[in-house]
Amino acid sequence: MMENAIEIRNLSKEYRDFSLKNLSLNVPRGTVLGLIGENGAGKSTLIQSMLGLIKAEYEKIELLGKQLRNQEKEIKEDIAVIFDVSHYNPEYTPAFIGKMLKRVYRNWDMEKYDAYLSRFGLPADKKLKKFSKGMKMKLEFAIAFSHKPRLLILDEATSGLDPVFRDEILELIREFTEEEDHTVVMSSHITSDLDKVADYIAFLHEGKLQFVKSYDELQNDYGVLHCGKDFFESLREEDIVSFKKEPYEYKVLVRNRNGILSVFPDLEMEKASVEDIMLMYVKGEA
């Protein structure tokens, strides 16, 4: 049986105008989970809650086999978190940050850190205030990988970066997950990035977890069908996830693509991308 890197049971967080409701989620070790949902769906609230950065109600939060309630310090030794902005003082240099973090993490590897600075072309003695956004994000990854974490959490860490550097980051994530014990949770609204690296997709909408499915299952089972009214009305209700009535056709997200195509091989139907699925859930009618 595959062990879980993350186990969350009945997590709830109430704000005045938003709430995360009884969310439960398991993430198997050695996998990449893509966390999707529109802005305000609860992705950052979920991440901050499971890291203990904000106070939430929950039955259980377990990361890497340790309980958040009483082992938060030990958990933080083994995880790296990258947000979409750097939180380091702009007057610091990478060299100073390395010396500082050597005292914070018992597993800090200065040689590895220097190698990443060199690989990313980051000057060790230049102040952060002179770094571009891309350079700051590269530094965040250099830091994250230099204390040998087993769980990497990215909260919109690739947003605002150019496609070339985003591709470099995806390559880093692939490298990281080559070790079977390494797990990644990646929240992103750039769903094409998740198409490249995710093993599982978790979809949050208005504070509720709509589904957690393997990427292969989404690729194999889901399809976007373009058809007329008569054909739409002949579809089985259980095969329809959601639909949109367009000016000249119905656009339908179905969950039994191969089954439908085996009966009607000439249908106009393509595989559904992660973005298709998210948009149809949010904008379509159930």
Q: Which residues are bridge partners to 34 per DSSP?
A: 186, 201
Output DSSP code: residue 273.
Answer: P
Output the DSSP codes for 196-265. HH-SEEEEEETTEEEEEEEHHHHHHH-EEEEE-HHHHHHS-GGGEEEEEE-SSSEEEEES-HHHHHHH-T
Long-range contacts of 71-80 (CB under 8 A, 24+ apart): 77/105, 77/106, 77/107, 77/147, 78/149, 78/150, 78/151, 79/51, 79/149, 79/150, 79/151, 79/152, 79/153, 80/143, 80/144, 80/145, 80/147, 80/149, 80/151, 80/152, 80/153
Enter the CATH code of domain 4-214: 3.40.50.300
pLDDT at site 2: 58
Q: Are 6 and 27 in contact (CB under 8 A)?
A: yes
Name the residue with tokens 């702009």: 90
Distance CA 219, CA 275 (A): 12
Distance CA 41, CA 186 (A): 15
Angle at 85 between CA 81 and CA 91, to 5 degrees: 105
How many C-beta atoms surround the C-beta of residue 82 within 10 A? 20
Domain locations in the chain as residue ranges: 4-214, 222-283
pTM metric for this prediction: 0.87
Distance CA 161, CA 169 (A): 10
3-class state of residue 67 by DSSP: strand
Q: Per residue of the chain (286 residues), what is the pLDDT tens digit?
A: 559 999 999 999 988 888 888 999 999 999 999 999 888 888 889 999 999 899 999 999 999 999 998 888 888 889 999 987 888 899 999 999 999 999 988 889 999 999 999 999 999 999 999 998 888 888 999 999 999 899 999 988 877 777 888 888 888 888 888 888 899 999 988 888 888 889 999 999 888 998 899 999 888 899 999 989 999 988 888 889 899 998 889 999 998 888 888 888 888 888 888 888 888 888 877 7
Token code pair at residue 189 = 């609204």
pLDDT by residue (tens digit) across 21-69?
899 999 999 999 999 988 888 888 999 999 989 999 999 999 999 999 8
Token code pair at residue 80 = 């790296």
